[in-house]
Amino acid sequence: MMRIPESHPRYESLVTREKMVNAVKDNIIVQEGLIAHGRGEAYDYIMGEKTKKWAIQAIKASAVTLMNASYPVISVNGNAAALAGKELVELSKIIPAKLEVNLFHRSPIRIRKICDYLRSMGATEVLGEDAEKLIEGIEHSRSYSSPEGIIKADVVFVPLEDGDRAKALKAIGKKVICIDLNPLSRTAITSDITIVDNITRAIPLLTEEIKKIKSGTEKELEEANAFATEYSNRDVLKEAVEGIIEYLGEFNPVRSDTANI
């Protein structure tokens, strides 16, 4: 493994890349996942690599929606597992929600590897190896779902998704929450709530928000519920795009402090 000096201005990004490459070797991520990660990095770059106000709003709405769900399921793919496996396990316990491994580039080996990986991170139950039911309207491997998982869910959390499943899930009556750094994606637009942020930052914040609501007062819970009821995904996505434009508008090539190196 390459040694990355901590003094490198892009240390975190380089360490994450190494982690992703190793996850490919371990059969957790597919090579295409590295390309997807690159797209994510590019979007993160043009929003300053920080959690912005549009993501905070989406996290607030997601927290109470997941808490109120009667059968919430977290769908985990290779990238999500490699980037935030441990944090997703913690989130599933806090809500509580089922974890289901659901892959676009599906293979029995990868399903098993990712289930094992999540168990090694502390998950007691991981669905996905038992997937058999097909979700209507999806013509690829993501259609496979566990009869005890996504099929039964009322709310499905799909961090880092690849497009048309959000639409198919909504068509069969599910509420869909996603994380996607790309506010222009079909998943982002179709979902009920889209957290436009890096999964590595968003999941711990979501867990914290749920803990906060759970330990808060009745009045705070009512306010959180009202916030989620009023929530408009389209408005928040619009804010995200406007926020990116504003951030880029501040860039000045002669002032290095405005660059994001």
The residues that touch ligand PTJ, with contacts defined as CB under 6 A, are 30, 32-33, 36-37, 39-40, 43, 77-79, 83, 103-105, 160, 162-163, 179-182, 185, 198-199
Minimum separation from the CB atom of position 228 to ligand PTJ (A): 21
Of the pair 109, 254, the CB lying nearest ligand PTJ is at 109
Q: What is the phi-psi region of residue 173: left when phi exceeds 0, alpha when psi lies from -120 to 50, beta otherwise?
A: left
Phi then psi for 198, rounded to 5 degrees?
Answer: -75, 135
Which residues is 100 bridged to in the sheet? 75, 127
Of the pair 187, 224, the CB lying nearest ligand PTJ is at 187
Residue 122 CA, distance from chain mean position: 19
Of the pair 63, 83, the CB lying nearest ligand PTJ is at 83
Q: Is 43 exposed, middle or buried (0-12, 13-18, 19+ CB in 10 A)?
A: buried
Minimum separation from the CB atom of position 113 to ligand PTJ (A): 11
Which single residue brings its beta carbon nearest to ligand PTJ? 40
By the 8 A CB rule, do 169 and 138 touch?
no
Angle between helix axes 199-214 and 218-230 (nearest 10 degrees) is 140
SS3 at position 5? coil
Regarding beta strands 144-145 and 133-134, do their DSSP bridges make them parallel or antiparallel, or are they unpaired? antiparallel
**Three-state SS annotation for 116-152:** HHHHHCCCCCCECCCCCEECCCCCCHHHEECCCCCCC
Of the pair 185, 233, the CB lying nearest ligand PTJ is at 185
Minimum separation from the CB atom of position 112 to ligand PTJ (A): 13
Minimum separation from the CB atom of position 183 to ligand PTJ (A): 9
Minimum separation from the CB atom of position 197 to ligand PTJ (A): 7
Of the pair 84, 224, the CB lying nearest ligand PTJ is at 84
Of the pair 56, 221, the CB lying nearest ligand PTJ is at 56
Of the pair 85, 213, the CB lying nearest ligand PTJ is at 85
Rg (CA), the chain: 18
Of the pair 188, 228, the CB lying nearest ligand PTJ is at 188
Minimum separation from the CB atom of position 68 to ligand PTJ (A): 24
Give Cβ neighbours of residue 90 (< 8 Å, ≥ 6 apart).
122, 207
Minimum separation from the CB atom of position 3 to ligand PTJ (A): 23
Minimum separation from the CB atom of position 22 to ligand PTJ (A): 15
> What tokens appear for 229 in the block?
């009821």
Give Cβ neighbours of residue 155 (< 8 Å, ≥ 6 apart).
65, 66, 69, 71, 72, 73, 174, 175, 176, 177
